Amino acid sequence: MIIDCHGHFTTAPPALEAWRKRQIAAIADGTPAPRAAELNIGDDELREAIEQNQLRIMKERGHDITVFSPRASFMAHHIGDFQVSSTWAAICNEMCFRVASLFPDHFVPAAMLPQSPGVDVATCLPELKRCVEEYGNVAVNLNPDPSGGHWTSPPLHDRYWYPLYEKLVEYDVPAMIHVSQSCNACFHTTGAHYLNADTTAFMQCLESDLFKDFPALKFIIPHGGGAVPYHWGRFRGLAQALKKPLLQDHLLNNIFFDTCVYHQPGIDLLTRVIPVDNILFASEMIGAVRGIDPETGHHFDDTRRYVAAADITPEARHKIFEGNARRVYTRLDARLKAGGR
C-alpha cells in the first residue's frame, strides 16, 4: 500500500474561492460577511473535482490513500480576525470531510486550525474537537506563523502552544507543521516561506526541551524538512553546542519528514541522511510544483518514482510508503484495519 501523507484540496470547485473572496471583500469595506450557508457545493461537483484531478493521478501513479487537508496557501490566517478564520476553517474542513466520505477508500481528512495572529491558541480547540470526534480527522496542519511571513507568534516550544499540544496528545493526532500564504514581499510563498518555516520549526524544537514536556507529541515537517537534511551536520553541531542530546534521542522520536522533494538527488540525500523510520511518503500533488521535469519527462511531484528508485532496501521502502504512516498516524492505521486493510 502507498499512503501519501500530504495532500491538499487545491482543485476545489470555484464556488469555494468565490465565497472566500466575498468574505475578504467584506473585511475591506466593512459590509456584512457572507454566511456559510450561502456556499452551495453539491456532491456531484466534489466528485468531479476529485475524480478528474487527485483521484485520477493517484490511480495513474499507484497511490492508495491520501491524507487530505484544505489548500495550504488558502488558510491565510493573517486575513481578518479569529471569527473570519473560524468560519473559513469550518467550511474548508467540512469540504475535506465530504471528500473523504465520498471516496472513503482513497481519502482521509486532516484539518486546518482557525488560527489568528495574537489570539490564544486555545480558541482552536473546539474546531479540533469537532474534526477529530465528528469528522474522524487523523491529523491537523499547524501554522507556526499565522502572521503570514512576519513571525509574530512565539516559537513552537513556547507555552503559548501547550493547550493545543495537550489536546493533540490526548487524541494521539500528529501535526504537520505547515505555514500558509506569505504576505511579506521578501518571501515567496512556496519557494521561500514554506521551506524557511520547515527549517525554522526544526530549529525551534532543537533549541528547546519541548519533547520532554510532550514525549508523545508528533510533528511532521513537510517538503523534506526544508534545509534540515542538507545541513544535518550543522544541526548536529548546534545541538552539541547547546548541550542537547544527540539528535536521534533529542528529536527523532517525535519529528518526521515527508518526501515532498521534487528530484531524485534530493530524495537520495534524504534517505541517506535521515533514518528511514523518520521518513513518510508524500507528494503534495497538484500543489506548489505542477509541471513536467524536462530532464525526466515526468511530473516533478511524482515522488513515488524517486522513492522507488532510491538505493534503499525493500524493507525501508515499505516503511516509507506505508509502515511509518501507520505508526505515526495511529487513527489512520485504526481506520485501515477496521476496513480490513
Angle between helices 43-51 and 54-61 (to 10 degrees): 40
Instruction: Name the grid cell of 299.
Output: 511530473
Q: Rounded distance, CA 245 to CA 197, Å?
A: 23
Residue of 284, 295, 315, 322 marked active site: 284
Instruction: Name the grid cell of 117.
Output: 495572529
SS3 at position 312: coil
- The C-alpha cell 482543485 sits at 11
Sign of CA dihedral 1, 334, 93, 197: negative
- Distance between the two ends of the chain, CA-based, in angstroms? 9
- 284 a catalytic residue: yes
Buried b (16+ CB within 10 A) or exposed e, 62-99: ebbbbbbbbbbbbbbbbbbebebbbbbbbbbbbbbbbb
Task: Name the residue among 9, 8, 67 with its Cα closest to residue 331.
Answer: 67
Sheet holding 65-70, edge to edge: 3-9, 65-70, 107-112, 139-142, 175-177, 219-221, 255-258, 279-280
Q: Rounded distance, CA 165 to CA 171, Å?
A: 10
- Are residues 106 and 58 in contact, defined by beta-carbon separation less than 8 angstroms? yes
Q: Rounded distance, CA 7 to CA 176, Å?
A: 11
Task: Name the residue among 135, 143, 139 with its Cα closest to residue 117.
Answer: 143
Instruction: Name the grid cell of 72.
Output: 495550504
Q: Rounded distance, CA 223 to CA 26, Å?
A: 34
**Catalytic residue IDs:** 284
